[in-house]
Amino acid sequence: MADNPTSTNLNFANIANDSATVHGNGTDSTSLHSGAARLHSIATRYSTGELAEACGVTVRTVQYYDSKGLLAPSGYSEGGRRLFTEADAERLRYILMLKSLGLGLAQIKGVLESPNRDTILKMLLDEQAVRVAEELDARKRQLQAIDTMRSDLELYGRMMATTELAMANRMNDERARKIWWATMIVVGILMDIAWIGTLVLGILTGTWWPFPIALVFVAIAGVWIVWRNLRHATFLCPECGAEFMTTYGRYLFSGHTPRTRKLTCPCCGQKDWCVERYHAERVDLAPGTCVPGTCTRESCDTNTRA
């Protein structure tokens, strides 16, 4: 139960004498303000409930910190109720601030009791910053794993990784895919600039010799993109679930979207829109063959070799 507000007898005579001394000695306004602040600090008394309300916490929180030796009352009323000063209120706010930063009670107590409070606090905050950064990295990895799993379910209809190591590899594949896509966009823009720019140059100035050079560059860049992509890409058949690598010819002359191509599965022979899966590492698989064990058909010869 919360303590009720309680009045106490204060030694105002000593305060008055201090004030008179200040005036008698002609002390400046700074000392007067200091004396007024001291008067306010001494005159202000909080019960447990009032302190909790002033600091925005519950009575139980104040009692808890009291029981842990972090926040002792400055006095007691005639009825034995705990009384706290404004300095105690500041101490509680300081404790709450340290607690919000993630420091434990033992660490907070060490800070409060040390004469080198600021030095110890800086060291603890440095350690806490490292821990928080590590936790953030872990949370980011979890979020990336969730995004990868959702993407797999949306694109492939199933999870492509069922172990922690496999999930780490899938996340690495996704990062590599994004980097490769950005690379293809940049190369594609350069290809367009090359042939369109030299074509416009020829039309406007009659200088045509850069144009065939640009076409050669475009052709080489296009072949490199296809060659590089096929070395790292496999395709998933929606019919039998097989994961396979296609040939260069079928890749070049197949209909496609950004994430699918209409290919014939070498496992079941079904021609359909197959989802492209990019791998960070080069795929060690012969073009036109399936990844052993990926087909759901028992009659598939790759399952017998797996």
Q: What is the pLDDT of the chain when averaged over all its residues?
A: 79
- Cβ(126)–Cβ(101) below 8 Å: no
The edge-to-edge listing of strands for the beta sheet with 243-245 is 260-264, 271-278, 233-236, 243-245, 289-290
Most confident of the following: 115-129, 137-151, 217-231: 217-231
Query: What are the tens digits of pLDDT across the range 169-182?
Result: 888 888 898 899 99
Of 124-133, 224-233, 291-300, the one with minimum mean pLDDT is 291-300
Q: How far apart are CA 49 and CA 36, in angstroms?
A: 26
Query: What are the tens digits of pLDDT across the range 194-221?
Result: 999 999 999 999 999 999 999 999 999 9
Model pLDDT, residue 123: 80
Of 17-21, 253-257, 259-263, the one with minimum mean pLDDT is 17-21
Model pLDDT, residue 301: 55
Query: What are the tens digits of pLDDT across the range 262-283?
Result: 998 888 888 999 888 889 898 8
What average pLDDT score do residues 59-70 get? 89
What average pLDDT score do residues 290-304 get? 64
pLDDT tier at 296 (50, 70, 90 boundaries)? low
Q: How far apart are CA 214 and CA 284, in angstroms?
A: 34
At residue 145, does pLDDT exceed 80?
no
Query: What are the tens digits of pLDDT across the range 3-29?
Result: 444 434 333 334 344 444 444 444 454
- Cβ(244)–Cβ(283) below 8 Å: no
Model pLDDT, residue 298: 60
At residue 285, does pLDDT exceed 60?
yes
Of 171-175, 215-219, 250-254, 292-296, the one with minimum mean pLDDT is 292-296
What average pLDDT score do residues 239-255 get? 87
pTM (two decimals): 0.52
What average pLDDT score do residues 291-295 get? 78
pLDDT tier at 163 (50, 70, 90 boundaries)? confident
pLDDT tier at 191 (50, 70, 90 boundaries)? very high
